[in-house]
Amino acid sequence: MKKFLGLFLLTANAIVAQAIPHINQIELEAKVDSIIASGIAQKAFPGAQVLLYKKGKIVLHKAYGHHTYNQEAAVDQEHLYDLASVTKILASTLAFMKLYELYPINLDQKVSAFMPQLKNTNKEHSTFRAILSHGAGWLPYLTHQQKIYRKNGSFRWHSLSQKQSKRYPMPLNDVWYVHKNYPKKIARRIKRTPVENVGQYRYSGLWFFLLPEMVRQLSGLSFDEFLNTHYYAPMGLERIGFIPQKKFPKNEIVPTERDSLFRKELVQGWVHDEAAALMGGVSGNAGLFANAQSIAPLLEMLLHQGQYKGKTYLNSETVATFSRVANPGTDNRRGLGFDKPELIPLGNGRYPSAYSSASSFGHSGFTGTFVWVDPEHDCFVVFLSNRVYPSRAQRKLYELGIRGALLDHVIQLH
């Protein structure tokens, strides 16, 4: 089966590669402008940033539309978007790849060997490979925000306070502060969740909540310090990080949703993901904010096997190991941390796009974000939007196939 699947993908890619139509730079810009304008007109999102890279250079970098549909604030290339689950690769997976190089970690080793808090739990035997490829049988998510209310509508003890203090140091938004021990409570809940159907593909974000503590235990650095030390600062990335209001004015941060259930306000400058918010805004599941320009160097580094501007950030073998299919011969398409193309013939309707190669990898985010690297076609895409404005019920971004079309067009650029 494994051999057949490999031959099938090679044959399918070869056939479609010959059929890929070519476009020039002028046609590329016209197509992208049209796609984004149509998306805005159909209210898939009020605005966006698009950055396309092909064969050694950025071939398109534009900001479109506005922060919201009232058109009061135009999107600028400097403005920051909530990356949602793109955090899983541009923070968590990159952090783990560096841990993998620095410490004696075996991908088929039990996670509990490095995370003693999982010993004597039903997750004790989960391996790094299984967790990173979403085959460990962990639940997809926990809605912690539903557990902080009493029946009378007030907040439970040791959850939130309207007064910042040593006991409540972490801001949830402009008004509320999270108890210092609440992240530990989240970790305890995760440890008690069931494990089901080990070996089957089931997307889960739970381990990514625990990863920052593993980073701290091994390196002595906080999650954001570790990322800044090994990637963001040496690469000169000025507009990427957690809790953006510490560094940037709110009007430079694109809002996400009008939250009617939890925070009862427009979420702007604070992470959209509720569980990440209760982690104090720093989580491996979500919480990273950035603009397209600060994401591009990270993708260029991955595209070039760990190299960026003459400096090695990751070994080429590490990038290859994490970006290939982690469980070949199965119906799980995932890499280690990275998403991969669907294991079906190339063509219309295939995720993420009709022409993406089997070597490509990336991730999408719930808020309307998408990054994808295609080594075979020597290109990558950054698409940032706030499709959840004014509500997460807005699903036009998915229906219109916008992200896949952008990837197709940069692949077509000749």
The DSSP bridge pattern shows strands 57-65 and 160-161 to be unpaired
Instruction: Look up the CATH number of the domain holding residue 375.
Output: 3.40.710.10
Whole-Å CA distances, 329 to 9, 13, 325: 12, 18, 9
Tally of domains in the chain: 1
**Residue 37 and residue 60: Cα distance in Å, rounded?**
15
- CA 348/CA 318 separation, integer angstroms: 32
Above 50 in pLDDT, residue 254? yes
Is pLDDT at 362 greater than 60 in this prediction? yes
Model pLDDT for residues 16-72, shown as the tens digit of each residue: 444 899 999 999 999 999 999 999 999 999 999 999 999 999 999 999 999 999 999
Given a cut of 90, is residue 283 above it in pLDDT? yes
Pick from 248, 250, 255: nearest CA to 68: 255
Instruction: Write the pLDDT tens digit of every residue in 135-158.
Output: 999 999 988 777 777 767 667 778
**CB–CB of 5/11 below 8 Å?**
no
Containing H/E element for 96? helix 94-102
pLDDT value of residue 17: 44
For tokens 């960026």, the residue is 308
Domain containing 143 equals 2-412
Q: Is the pLDDT higher at 170 or at 156?
A: 170
User: What is the CB neighbour count within 10 angstroms for residue 175?
Assistant: 12
Query: Confidence class of residue 349 from pLDDT cuts 50, 70 and 90?
Result: confident
Q: Average pLDDT for residues 86-108, to the nearest whole number? A: 98
Task: Examine the pLDDT at 2 and tell me if it is beyond 90.
Answer: no
The pTM score is 0.94
Distance CA 116, CA 305 (A): 32
For residue 412, pLDDT over 50 is answered with: yes
Contact 42, 400 (CB under 8 A): yes
8 A C-beta contact, residue 231 and residue 97 = no
